Amino acid sequence: MRNKIPQQPAKERIENFFEVALGFSKSAAEEEARRCLQCKDPVCIKGCPVGIDIPAFIKLIKEGRQKEALEKIKEKNNLPCICGRVCPQEDQCEAVCVLNKKKIPINPVRNTKALRGINKISNGVNIGALERYAADYELNQLSTVSCQLSENRKLKTENSAKIAVVGSGPAGLTCAADLAKMGYEVTLFESLHLPGGVLMYGIPEFRLPKKIVQNEVEYIKSLGVLINTDTLIGNTYSIDDLFREGFKAVFVATGAGLPQFLGIPGENLNRVYSANEFLTRVNLMKAYKFPEYATPINIGKKIAVIGGGNVALDSARVALRLGKRAALVYRRTEKEMPGRIEEIDNAKAEGVIFKFLTQPVKIIGDEKGFVKALECIKMELGEPDASGRRRPVPIKDSNFVLDVDTVIVAIGQGPNPLLPKVTPGLKTNKDGTIWVDKNFMTSIPGVFAGGDIITGADTVISAMGAGKKAAVAIDKYNRDNLSFS
Ligand code: FAD
What is the SS3 assignment for 407? strand
| Identity of the amino acid at 257 | G
Q: Helices then strands (H, E): number in the chain?
A: 17, 16
CB of 307 within 6 A of ligand 1: the answer is: no
For position 265, what pLDDT does the model report?
98
| Identity of the amino acid at 120 | K
How does pLDDT run across 171-198, given as a tens digit for each residue?
999 999 999 999 999 999 999 999 999 9
Separation of CA 383 and ligand 1 centre (Å)? 32
How does pLDDT run across 263-308, given as a tens digit for each residue?
999 999 999 999 999 999 999 988 888 888 888 899 999 999 999 9
Query: How would residue 149 be classed by pLDDT, with cut points 50, 70 and 90?
Result: very low
CB of 464 within 6 A of ligand 1: the answer is: no
| pLDDT exceeds 90 at position 147 | no
Q: Which residue has its alpha carbon closest to ligand 1 atom 53?
A: 255
Integer Cα distance of 22 and 165 in angstroms: 34
Strand-pair partners of 393? 380
Q: Give the containing element (helix H, strand E) for 273.
A: strand 272-274
CB of 458 within 6 A of ligand 1: the answer is: yes
Of 196, 208, 198, 202, nearest in space to 132 by CA: 208
- The Cβ of residue 38 has, within 10 Å, a number of other Cβ atoms equal to 10
| pLDDT exceeds 80 at position 32 | yes
Query: How would residue 390 be classed by pLDDT, with cut points 50, 70 and 90?
Result: confident
CB of 166 within 6 A of ligand 1: the answer is: yes
For position 90, what pLDDT does the model report?
84
Separation of CA 455 and ligand 1 centre (Å)? 12
Taking the whole predicted model, whether its pTM rises above 0.85 is answered as: yes
CB of 342 within 6 A of ligand 1: the answer is: no
Separation of CA 341 and ligand 1 centre (Å)? 20
Separation of CA 41 and ligand 1 centre (Å)? 33
Half-sphere exposure of 146 (CA within 13 A, CB side): 19
CB of 316 within 6 A of ligand 1: the answer is: no
Half-sphere exposure of 49 (CA within 13 A, CB side): 24
Mutate which of 310, 317, 433 for ligand 1 pocket (most atoms within 8 A of beta carbon)? 310
Query: How would residue 151 be classed by pLDDT, with cut points 50, 70 and 90?
Result: very low
How does pLDDT run across 331-356, given as a tens digit for each residue?
999 988 988 888 999 999 999 999 99
Tell which atom from ligand 1 comes closest to the C-alpha of 340.
28
Query: How would residue 1 be classed by pLDDT, with cut points 50, 70 and 90?
Result: confident
Tell which atom from ligand 1 comes closest to the C-alpha of 451.
52
Order the strands of the 325-329 sheet from edge to edge: 272-274, 406-409, 302-306, 325-329, 353-355
For position 292, what pLDDT does the model report?
86
For position 402, what pLDDT does the model report?
97
| Identity of the amino acid at 261 | F
CB of 54 within 6 A of ligand 1: the answer is: no
CB of 232 within 6 A of ligand 1: the answer is: yes
